[in-house]
Amino acid sequence: MKEYLDEAKEELKRVDHIIYVSLKYTRTVDIIRNAIIRLVSAYDYIIEALFIYNKNQKKIEHIPKSPKEKLDALVRMYPEDKKLVRYLALYSFLRELIKAQFTRREEYRRHVTMISQLKNQTAETDIDVLEDNYDKEAKEFLEYAELLMDLRPHD
């Protein structure tokens, strides 16, 4: 379980580097996509750690295989947890972004944007959106997961 959280921290370090170094200098949609892929990977590790924790606590018997099954199972395990549901919704959205068709706008400029065509909407991802998702959501999710697993002191 701890190994998965350590891997998630490493992925988040990579995302940090991508956003604050690579993206600042290259400003391409490919770098934005790479950051999103790394964010999803970090979320995957955190979710896996949550499942291992719950299995060790004998709250579940087996760990689901697919990401969709894992999301559904976590929502069932923590039905009253609005914070967790919010983090999982973002994770689901990021997974959709990776799979979606996209176009590029203003590459090699400050406002480089990846425009993704999702089922019901168009999503625009730029440097600022990426920073918000990384700084606010991904880091908070890691801390919150550690709190859920009693690995961090309660506030």
pLDDT tens track for 18-55: 999 999 899 999 999 999 999 999 999 999 999 999 99
Q: Which of 34, 40, 41 lies closest to 17, judged by CA?
A: 34
Tokens describing residue 22: 């690579």
The mean pLDDT of 89-111, rounded to a whole number, is 94
- Tens-digit pLDDT profile for residues 53-98: 999 999 899 999 999 999 999 999 998 999 999 999 999 999 999 9
Q: What is the pTM of this model?
A: 0.92
Given this model, what pLDDT does residue 154 score? 53
